[in-house]
Amino acid sequence: MSYHIEDTKLLTLETVWGIFWNGIRMDFSMSGYLSVIPFILVCISNFIKKSRLENWIFSYTFVAVFFITLIVVIDLQVFNTWGYRLDATPLYYLKSPKEAWASVSSSPLLQLFISFIILLIIASYIVYRIITRNIDNWNYIENIPFIPVSVICLLALIVPIRGSLGISPMNQSTVYFSTNNFANISAINAPWNFMSSIVNGTYDKVNPFTYLPKESLTETIKELYTTSNTTQKVLKNDLKKPNVIFIIWESFTKKATEKIINGQAVTPQFNALKSEGIYFSNIYASGDRTDKGLPAILSGYPAQSTTSIITEPNKSAKLPVLSKDFGDNAYSTAFYYGGETEFANIKSYLYEADFQRIISKQDFDPKDWNSKWGAQDGAVYKKFLQDHANINQPFFSTLLTLSSHEPFEVPIETKFAGEDVDAKFMNAMYYADQSLGNFIAEAKKQPWWNNTLIVIVADHGHRIPETGKKVDDFKIPMLWLGGALEKKGIEVSNVYSQIDLASTVLRQVNLNAYAYNWSKNIFDPKTKPWAFFAFNNGFGFVNQSKQLVYDNVGHKVIQQNGTITPKDQDYGKALMQRMFQDYLDK
């Protein structure tokens, strides 16, 4: 609460007291788990040499103190970056240590390290004093045989571990007590939450998001997916096989397109390009990370709340992918990225997608590796243009940017003054926008421009700049450009999702989209305008007049805009339930 003082200052004294009063139950639970091994050792202490017992107790205690303190400190920054408490998610990225380091290197590492050392010293001193003062008394308690008493104490740990003597065991919702979501998640014990995520984070066949009975679930989903099986064409009718380019812009939040700093727009190039194509002003990302955004865009597959399908090749291999559909129809296909595709298991997904060429960090000159992630956007766009100078048409090519990812290192002079993370993010976004503008200007000179559709879309949104509304963090821009467009200078203001892109594009180029059953055709006159997004243990549902954000731990709507009815909640719950079940069934 001290680390996130700006959020804490908004709480009343009563709410602050409630955090400690409700949260202590989970603290007791974690303490109970940590006490099991020492209690077992105490139970058999009469049969262990005194010096050996002391060494075991000390060693266990200080190892526990080290890792518990480490978890607590990491949790501070995880919430600052992702908006939820530490769980098993960061473990997915340890397979790619360089990229993981690049992702966290913009964090206040010195401040966190000092906090870790101070907490470690204090905790170590306290437990040292407790153990050294009491270890000599572990023989008998007032003439009662020690072993039976210690066994009873060991068995009694079940009470704090479970949180009560009732039927329901300890879980996150046990400590939830307020309508303020920050207060609720502050009451959670970080080590307990992390350990629980590791133990319970792999779901076999049990859907943790079961809200509705099967009959009403099917009917509710059916209401959301209506279609006429027709489409309004926005591409030129005489183009049988137009080229298609996807530019997936890292962390491209719509908030950045609306941001003005000292009279200077953050994304002036993108803003100017809106009038040259079709601008979709109400699009929402399906998830909050790149490994969720890629399947959402290329497979029309919704993001999972507590995991990511791309990290499980046996499941992601079963997804439809646009590159396969285009490749099966005589398109050449390519994927461009300036970083390591091994990160978050993206590489396996791309290979399963049958991209004929996959361009990554190793394909660029090391002098262009001027970011911790790899080659900057300018270098990637340049190579893309070089490779496509004499390419056979038609082609389907995807380019994933990286310059606007943490730690926001860009090869230009600072445009917006400041050393805080907000200023760095805006500078990175300005460079990414500049690189895009240069690319589009050069693309217009290419022989393939008149036959090409270019789709610019984000992989996910971003929390910066903060608005206090989670919905805003998932709102992203999307823009269609290129000479293949029949209609230009149009704004589509209806609410749609990132996952709707796959079906929409396929229908525009006269390809079958039936395999993309989660993806709606935006240009079908009967398609209903709505979007759904998932975040850690929760979801959001948005339509033209309403927005709701639902927390699955507390089982409540934590943010809303408009009058939310039980039916609106059922729409979101039905999507969450069916989508996660579909993931489990893969």
- Report the DSSP pairing between strands 452-458 and 243-249: parallel
Q: Are 84 and 77 in contact (CB under 8 A)?
A: no
Q: Is the pLDDT of residue 138 over 60?
A: no
Distance (Å, whole) CA 456 – CA 505: 13
Q: Is 442 helix (H, G, I), strand (E, B) or coil?
A: helix
Say if CB 109 and CB 80 are below 8 A apart: no
Percent of residues, the chain, with pLDDT higher than 90: 59
Give the integer Cα–Cα distance in Å for 244 and 91.
35
Q: Write down the pLDDT at residue 409.
A: 86
Q: How deeply is 493 buried, as exposed, middle or buried, from its count of CB atoms within 10 A (0-12, 13-18, 19+)?
A: exposed
Contact assessment for residue 499 and residue 522, using Cβ atoms and an 8 Å cutoff: no
The model's confidence at residue 205, banded by pLDDT at 50, 70 and 90, is low
**Residue 586 or residue 244, greater confidence:** 244
Give yes or no for residue 137 having a pLDDT over 80: no
Give the Cα separation of 217 and 575 in Å (integer).
9
- Model confidence at 213, pLDDT cuts 50, 70, 90, reads very high
Rounded-to-integer distance, Cα 518 and Cα 515, Å = 9
What is the pLDDT at residue 274?
A: 96
100 band by pLDDT with thresholds 50, 70 and 90: low
At residue 335, the 3 state secondary structure works out as strand
Q: Which pTM value belongs to this model?
A: 0.78
Q: Which residue ranges are tagged as binding site for Mn(2+)?
A: 250, 290, 459-460
- Closest alpha carbon to 362 in 351, 379, 374, 372: 374
Range in 138-142, 471-475, 556-560 with the lowest mean pLDDT: 138-142
Question: How many Å separate Cα 383 from the centre of its chain?
Answer: 29
**Residue 45 gets which letter from DSSP?**
G
Of 139 and 184, more confident: 184
- Could you tell me the pLDDT band of residue 208, with boundaries at 50, 70 and 90? confident
Alpha-carbon 210 to chain mean position: 22
The residues, any chain, with a CB within 8 Å of residue 555's CB and separated by 6 or more, are 173
Tens of pLDDT, residues 249-288: 999 999 999 999 999 999 999 999 999 999 999 999 999 9
Q: Count H helices, E strands: the chain?
A: 21, 17
Whether residue 497 contacts residue 532, with contact meaning beta carbons closer than 8 Å, is answered with yes
What local confidence, expressed as pLDDT, does residue 380 receive?
A: 96
Residue 92 confidence (pLDDT): 63
Q: Rounded to whole angstroms, how far apart are CA atoms 389 and 409?
A: 29
Tens digit of pLDDT for each residue in 555-569?
889 999 999 999 999
Q: Which is higher by pLDDT, 307 or 32? A: 32
- Higher-pLDDT residue of 343 and 151 is 151
Closest CA to 577 of 543, 541, 530: 541
Q: How many residues does the chain have?
A: 586
Asked if pLDDT for residue 385 goes beyond 90, the answer is yes
Q: Does residue 290 carry a catalytic annotation?
A: yes
Region 117-123: mean pLDDT is: 90
- Identify the pLDDT of residue 41: 85
For the stretch 541-577, what's the b/e string if a residue is b when 16 or more beta carbons lie within 10 angstroms of its beta carbon?
bbbeebbbbbbbbbeebbbeeeebeeebbbbbbbbbb
Domain ranges of the chain: 5-200, 216-225+528-586, 236-525
User: What CATH code would you report for 236-525?
Assistant: 3.40.720.10
Asked whether residue 339 carries a pLDDT value surpassing 70, the answer given is yes
- Of the residues 290, 307, 341, 527, only one is catalytic, namely 290
Average predicted confidence (pLDDT) for the chain: 89
pLDDT band of 77, cuts 50, 70, 90: confident
Arithmetic mean of pLDDT, 377-393? 95
Q: What is the pLDDT of residues 178-189, one digit of tens each?
A: 767 788 889 989
- Is the Cβ–Cβ distance between 342 and 348 less than 8 Å? no
In this structure, of 185-189, 331-335, 480-484, the range with the lowest mean pLDDT score is 185-189
pLDDT digits (tens, 9 = 90+) for 33-43: 999 998 888 88
Give the annotated binding-site residues for substrate.
405
CB 131 within 8 A of CB 57: yes
The 3-state DSSP class for residue 491 equals strand
The per-residue pLDDT for 333 is 96
- Quick: pLDDT tens for 518-563: 999 999 999 999 999 999 889 999 999 999 999 988 888 999 999 9
- What residues are designated binding site? 250, 290, 405, 459-460
Task: Tell which wins on pLDDT, 165 or 118.
Answer: 118
Question: What is d(CA 72, CA 75) in angstroms, rounded to the nearest whole number?
Answer: 5
**Does residue 522 or residue 367 have the better pLDDT?**
522
Cβ atoms of residues 523 and 232 within 8 Å? yes
Residue 203 has pLDDT above 60, yes or no: no
pLDDT-derived band at 102 (thresholds 50, 70, 90) equals: low
Which of 135-149, 160-174, 301-315 has the highest average model confidence (pLDDT)? Answer: 301-315
* pLDDT(143) > 80: no
Confidence grade of residue 198 (pLDDT, cut at 50, 70, 90)? confident
Q: Measured between alpha carbons, how far is 436 from 249 in angstroms, rounded to an integer?
A: 9
pLDDT at 170: 79
Whether the predicted pLDDT of 311 surpasses 60? yes
- Reported as a pLDDT band with limits 50, 70 and 90, residue 241 is very high
> What is the per-residue pLDDT for 389?
93
Confidence of residue 132 (pLDDT cuts 50, 70, 90): low
